[in-house]
Amino acid sequence: MDQFIINGGARLRGVVPISGSKNAALPIMAATLLTEGETILRGVPLLDDVESLSVLLRKLGANARRDDDGAIRLRVEDEQNCVAEYELVRKMRASICVMGPLLARRHKAQISMPGGCAIGDRPIDLHLAGMENLGADVDLIGGDIHLRAKRLKGAEMFLGGPFGSTVLGTANVMMAACLAEGTTIIESAACEPEVADVANYLNACGARISGHGTPRITIEGVKSLKGCEYTIIPDRIEAGTFMMAAAITNGELTLTNCRMDHLLAVIDRLKAVGVNIERKDGGAVVSSARRLEPITVATQPFPGFPTDLQAQLMALLSLADGNSIITEKVFPDRFLHVAELNRLGARLRKEGQTVVIEGVRRLIGAPVMASDLRASAALVLAGLIAKGQTRISRVYHIDRGYEAIEKKLAAVGADIQRMAE
Ligand code: UD1
């Protein structure tokens, strides 16, 4: 296992190219199971999660390979296997998004029921309700979900749950509905740009989806879909993380391939903290005032402040001049980073799904442990400014979702190294 060794204090300066979005790439790769012919995907980040999904897609009969120019080529060659096994689903929850495509195209799917993970229980009841609405029979046998449907039928449905819309649930049902007979309407659909990207890919393959990016998506079923060439949107979570890296080190970073329109809630909150963010040629220039103002934030589904940037924002606010409050409204248990940040000298107090952050003047390096993807990113941010050395173990979590983060940070002046533990 690898660890990161960070010597804090360097002010970051320079240009950071933002990679393609992990959370758009994964369901789009799964969506190729619906198509005939070849799909060429550009902008798919080089990540462990992408590799895990490629392994699953190969088991499901697809040829998936990366060209020298970085594009991923996918083509379904054998449609016999309909099983996503526990080993693969356990490793990566997003494997669940092969469910819709398998059911629609192969008329059955057997997917291991994902367990909980570091950020909470993460049920999939809404995915299953959506498939039942489209006419599938759903059974849970031996920890596997068995779904069957001779022909899916379009339906009008409400897909909201106790925490609002579901991102992968919406993508799953939308993918399945593409090959269903008739029209499907998903009400309370997730509005995340990644879901809209899946819809744009499917439309480029011949699907008839409208309303994506809004809470009401309409899908008119078609008979077949044909693979195409498509470029994935930039990763807004990676961009937001680097914005906070510029802010926490009091540096100046230019982010290229960054969609500001996908980051309006983040930009709003960072500006309130005192971070300067200017648009520049399809990207952004981010710099920070020395003094960070305390703020109040609640995470919410898009277009609200993303839960995937909550931990990183907490690292930044731990150095603000006063008390801040963060409330987590999407995954109420997503706070494993609190104790680790406190080890670095932050003063964080968790009260239910809220954390009170008492700003401190400095953080001090220490050995800490990465617990999940975004929590690890928060520890990296804290390490960049902590006095002395911070050693972050278990960085395989970060490799799941950030492409070469230590190389991108080192290129703009950070003192960060990857070493075997
Ligand atoms: C996706 C993202 C993840 C992000 C999350 C919320 C991917 C690969 N992952 O995860 O990075 O943090 O969106 O923006 O895209 N819920 C239910 N029943 C369900 C499904 C979800 O109650 O059937 C609840 C969840 O427990 C959670 C909330 O709904 O409280 C949102 O979850 P959801 O949007 O489904 O997250 P994912 O799609 O799994």
Q: Are residues 224 and 366 in the same domain?
A: no
Q: In angstroms, what is the span from residue 24 Cα to ligand 1's centroid? A: 13
Q: Are residues 78 and 208 in the same domain?
A: yes
CA-CA distance, 379 to 91, in Å (whole number)?
22
What confidence score (pLDDT) does residue 271 get?
97
Question: How far is CA 376 from each of CA 195, 232, 401, rounded to the nearest angstrom?
Answer: 25, 24, 10
Q: Are residues 28 and 91 in the same domain?
A: yes
Q: Whose CA is nearest to atom 19 of ligand 1?
A: 124
Task: Report the residue among 128, 163, 334 best suited for mutation to probe ligand 1: largest number of ligand atoms under 8 A from its CB.
Answer: 163
Total of domains in the chain:
2
What confidence score (pLDDT) does residue 35 get?
98
For residue 121, give the DSSP letter: -
Q: In angstroms, what is the span from residue 165 Cα to ligand 1's centroid? A: 8
What's the 3-state SS for 226-253?
Answer: ECCEEECCECHHHHHHHHHHHHHCCCEE
Please give the angle made by the CA atoms of 371, 375 and 376, to the nearest 5 degrees.
75
What confidence score (pLDDT) does residue 120 get?
75
Q: In angstroms, what is the span from residue 339 Cα to ligand 1's centroid? A: 24
CATH number, domain containing residue 176: 3.65.10.10
Q: Whose CA is nearest to atom 35 of ligand 1?
A: 166
Q: How far is CA 73 from the centre of its chain?
A: 22
Q: In angstroms, what is the span from residue 209 Cα to ligand 1's centroid? A: 22
Q: Which atom of ligand 1 is nearest to the CA of 331?
A: 30
Q: Whose CA is nearest to atom 15 of ligand 1?
A: 23
Q: In angstroms, what is the span from residue 373 Cα to ligand 1's centroid? A: 14
Q: Are residues 387 and 413 in the same domain?
A: yes
Q: Which residues lie below 8 Å from residue 396, measured CB to CB, with a gap of 6+? A: 1, 2, 48, 370
Task: Report the residue among 26, 93, 330 best suited for mutation to probe ligand 1: largest number of ligand atoms under 8 A from its CB.
Answer: 330
Q: Are residues 196 and 284 in the same domain?
A: no
Q: Whose CA is nearest to atom 4 of ligand 1?
A: 308
Q: Which atom of ligand 1 is nearest to the CA of 128?
A: 23
Query: 231, 255, 277 — which closes off a domain?
Result: 231
Q: Which atom of ligand 1 is nearest to the CA of 307?
A: 12
Catalytic residue IDs:
117
What confidence score (pLDDT) does residue 119 get?
72
Q: In angstroms, what is the span from residue 20 Cα to ligand 1's centroid? A: 20
What confidence score (pLDDT) does residue 221 get?
98
What confidence score (pLDDT) does residue 116 get?
64
Q: In angstroms, what is the span from residue 415 Cα to ligand 1's centroid? A: 34
Q: Are residues 208 and 239 in the same domain?
A: no
Strand (E) or helix (H) holding 316:
helix 310-317
Tokens of 225: 């879909």
Q: Are residues 225 and 240 in the same domain?
A: no
Give me the tens of pLDDT residue by residue for the chain, a chain 421 residues long. 899 999 999 999 999 999 999 999 999 999 999 999 999 999 999 999 999 999 999 999 999 999 999 999 999 999 999 999 998 888 899 999 999 999 999 999 999 988 667 777 789 999 999 999 999 999 999 989 999 999 999 999 999 999 999 999 999 999 999 999 999 999 999 999 999 999 999 999 999 999 999 999 999 999 999 999 999 999 999 999 999 999 999 999 999 999 999 999 999 999 999 999 999 888 999 999 778 999 999 999 999 999 999 999 999 999 999 999 999 999 999 999 999 999 999 999 999 999 999 999 999 999 999 989 999 999 999 999 999 999 999 999 999 999 999 999 999 999 999 999 8
Query: 231, 250, 282 — which closes off a domain?
Result: 231
Tokens 């007979």: give the residue.
Answer: 181
Task: Report the residue among 166, 235, 307, 397 best suited for mutation to probe ligand 1: largest number of ligand atoms under 8 A from its CB.
Answer: 166
CA-CA distance, 56 to 13, in Å (whole number)?
39
CA-CA distance, 344 to 116, in Å (whole number)?
28
Q: Whose CA is nearest to atom 20 of ligand 1?
A: 124
Q: DSSP letters of 364-400?
A: B--EEE--SHHHHHHHHHHHHHSBSEEEEE-THHHHT
Q: In angstroms, what is the span from residue 61 Cα to ligand 1's centroid? A: 27
What confidence score (pLDDT) does residue 290 get?
77
Sheet holding 13-17, edge to edge: 13-17, 252-256, 283-288, 275-280
Task: Report the residue among 168, 194, 299 best suited for mutation to probe ligand 1: largest number of ligand atoms under 8 A from its CB.
Answer: 168
Structural domain span for residue 381: 2-19+234-420
Q: Which atom of ligand 1 is nearest to the CA of 168?
A: 38
Q: Are residues 64 and 41 in the same domain?
A: yes
CA-CA distance, 242 to 19, in Å (whole number)?
12
Q: Are residues 214 and 331 in the same domain?
A: no
Q: Are residues 126 and 264 in the same domain?
A: no
Q: Whose CA is nearest to atom 31 of ligand 1?
A: 166
Q: Are residues 132 and 168 in the same domain?
A: yes
What confidence score (pLDDT) does residue 161 get?
95
Q: Which atom of ligand 1 is nearest to the CA of 22?
A: 8
Question: How far is CA 25 from each of CA 22, 30, 193, 195, rounded to the nearest angstrom?
Answer: 5, 9, 12, 10
Query: 197, 231, 265 — which closes off a domain?
Result: 231
Tokens of 195: 């879901």
Q: Which atom of ligand 1 is nearest to the CA of 129?
A: 23
Tokens of 303: 């277009």
User: CB under 6 Å to ligand 1: residues?
Assistant: 23, 26, 94, 122-127, 161-163, 166-169, 190, 194, 307-308, 330-331
Report the 10 Å Cβ neighbour count for 229.
12
Q: Give SS3 for 324.
A: strand
Q: Which atom of ligand 1 is nearest to the CA of 401?
A: 11
Q: What is the mean pLDDT of the chain?
A: 96
Q: Whose CA is nearest to atom 12 of ligand 1?
A: 308
Q: Are residues 206 and 241 in the same domain?
A: no
